[in-house]
């Protein structure tokens, strides 16, 4: 009832962690049995260590939060040596009773196409299950979003990764564009196996008494329930326009939220910001969607895209 696929990747269920909100999952294992989630998605890994942006990096907003982490991480060598074995252990813990266990998805970030290629080669050699290409971090390169605002560069980056990758490749898209479909089509042309939609919306917080911006770098990425309607709209729009499987992400807090994304056309859904306050949430959602689907007499596969079949296409969302 809960099984789903992302291209050739089979998942026990459609619930994944969102990159950057749950580390590698290792610290989260004390709160719930992570063997039950569909996949664990790592924080973005880059070729070299990155110190990240100046503090403050996080700011709570009404119904969400801003982050400006700046892809802080210790680089690929450290990740492969210290972090990946822990993700493998978590994945193995779920491989029983005929289940696949959580799939290991590595989110890779780069400032150049060569960076993405280097990381893709390395992680494919390490036998991870899929790659999520972070084309859309708003907190680096002065927020220029180099790849994810240009269909041609998106296509080039994805094509280069696909050339070396032996596992499915998902392109993580930015909502900070006028036409997300054009970018998604670039990813499709480049050979992406799926899309992750969406990354954060660029935002800002200001302390008027001090007369300055709050985040160390001024701008940050807005996530949480505030962005769910935007994410749902984009997933709906993408599902109508491209043939690729979509991983929905943005403001998910409940089983109902997950099922709404599936109804909009997502094949799987990531849970992110909500896990800062409830690190056991993902596993609870997996249990709850089983009950909700059973009560409705449907499955994830049947529900996927139902909103397209039931309602008149909205402007700009035509199939």
Q: What is the largest CA-CA distance in the chain?
A: 59
Beta strands 169-172 and 130-134: pairing type?
parallel
The nearest distance, CB 214 to ligand SIN, in angstroms, is 15
What's the rounded Cα separation, in Å, for the pair 20 and 43? 4
C-beta closer to ligand SIN: residue 13 or 174? 174
Provide the b/e sequence for 17-53 (b: ≥16 CB within 10 Å). bbbbbbebbbebbeebebbbbbbbbbbbbbbeebebb
137 in contact with ligand SIN (CB under 6 A): yes
CB of 132 to ligand SIN, least distance (A): 10
Cβ atoms of residues 29 and 7 within 8 Å: no
- The CA distance from 305 to 248, in Å, is 12
Determine which one of 124, 137, 263, 317 is catalytic. 137
Contact 257, 2 (CB under 8 A): no
Q: Are strands 219-223 and 64-67 parallel, antiparallel or unpaired?
A: antiparallel
Task: State the pairing for strand pair 212-213/206-207.
Answer: antiparallel
**Catalytic site includes residue 317:** no
Residue span 272-291 as binding mask against ligand SIN, x where in contact by CB under 6 A, dash where not: --------------------
221 belongs to the binding site for ligand SIN (CB under 6 A) = yes
Bridge partners of 270, per DSSP, are 16, 249
Q: Is residue 24 close enough to count as binding ligand SIN by CB under 6 A?
A: no
Query: Smallest gap, in angstroms, from Cβ of residue 133 to ligand SIN?
Result: 11
By three-state DSSP, how is residue 242 classified? coil
Residue 204, Cβ neighbours under 10 Å: how many? 14
Among 32, 42, 134, 176, binds ligand SIN (CB under 6 A): 134
Residue 139 within binding range of ligand SIN, rule CB under 6 A: yes
Name which of 203 and 221 has its Cβ closer to ligand SIN: 221
Q: By C-beta, is 57 or 162 nearer to ligand SIN?
A: 57
Total chain residues near ligand SIN (CB under 6 A): 14
Nearer to ligand SIN, 137 or 303 (CB): 137
Q: What are phi and psi of 255, to 5 degrees?
A: -60, -40
Binding-residue pattern over the window 185 to 214 for ligand SIN, x denoting contact by CB under 6 A: --------------xx--------------
Shortest CB 145 distance to ligand SIN, Å: 10
Kindly give the residue spans of alpha helices, DSSP state H, lying in the chain.
75-78, 84-93, 113-125, 151-164, 180-189, 228-241, 255-264, 281-296, 300-303, 306-310
Q: Which is nearer to ligand SIN, 70 or 224 (CB)?
A: 70
Report the alpha-carbon distance of residue 78 to residue 82 in Å, rounded: 6
CB of 308 to ligand SIN, least distance (A): 28
Both tokens of 30, joined, read: 């004390």
On whether the CB atoms of residues 133 and 124 are closer than 8 A, the answer is no
User: According to CB under 6 A, which residues from 90 to 129 bind ligand SIN?
Assistant: none
| String of contacts with ligand SIN for each residue 54-73, x by CB under 6 A | -------------xxxxx--
Tell me the closest approach of the beta carbon of residue 137 to ligand SIN, in angstroms: 3
Region 151-190 residues binding ligand SIN, contact defined as CB under 6 A: none
**Interface pick for ligand SIN out of 11, 12, 13, 20 (rule CB under 6 A):** 20
Site residues, ligand SIN (CB under 6 A):
20, 44, 67-71, 134, 137-139, 199-200, 221
Known catalytic residues are: 137
């Amino acid at each position: 009832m809960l099984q789903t696929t992302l291209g050739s990747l089979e998942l026990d269920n459609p619930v994944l962690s969102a990159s950057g909100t749950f580390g590698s999952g290792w610290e989260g294992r004390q709160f719930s049995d992570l063997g039950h989630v569909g996949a664990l998605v790592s924080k973005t890994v880059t070729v070299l260590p990155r110190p990240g942006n100046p503090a403050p990096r996080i700011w709570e907003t009404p119904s969400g939060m801003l982050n400006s982490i700046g892809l802080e991480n210790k680089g690929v060598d450290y990740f492969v040596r210290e972090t990946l074995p822990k993700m493998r252990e978590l994945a193995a813990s779920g491989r029983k009773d005929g289940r696949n266990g959580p799939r290991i998805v590595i989110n890779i970030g780069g400032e150049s196409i060569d960076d993405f290629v280097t990381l893709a080669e390395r992680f494919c050699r390490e036998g991870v299950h899929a790659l999520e290409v972070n084309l859309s971090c708003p907190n680096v390169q002065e927020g220029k979003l180099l790849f994810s605002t240009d269909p041609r560069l998106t296509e080039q980056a994805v094509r280069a990764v696909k050339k070396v990758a032996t596992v499915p490749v998902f392109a993580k898209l930015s909502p900070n564009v006028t036409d997300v479909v054009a970018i998604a089509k670039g990813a499709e042309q480049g050979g992406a196996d799926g899309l992750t939609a969406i990354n954060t919306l660029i935002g800002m917080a200001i302390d008027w008494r001090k007369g300055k911006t709050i985040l160390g770098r001024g701008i940050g990425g807005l996530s949480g329930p505030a962005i769910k309607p935007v994410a749902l709209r984009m997933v709906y729009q993408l599902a109508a326009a491209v043939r690729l499987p979509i991983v929905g992400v943005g403001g998910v807090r409940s089983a109902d939220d997950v099922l709404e994304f599936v109804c909009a056309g997502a094949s799987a859904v990531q849970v992110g910001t909500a896990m800062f306050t409830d690190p056991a949430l993902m596993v609870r959602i997996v249990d709850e969607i089983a009950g909700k689907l059973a009560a409705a007499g449907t499955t994830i596969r049947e529900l996927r895209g139902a909103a397209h079949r039931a309602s008149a296409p909205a402007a700009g969302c035509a199939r």
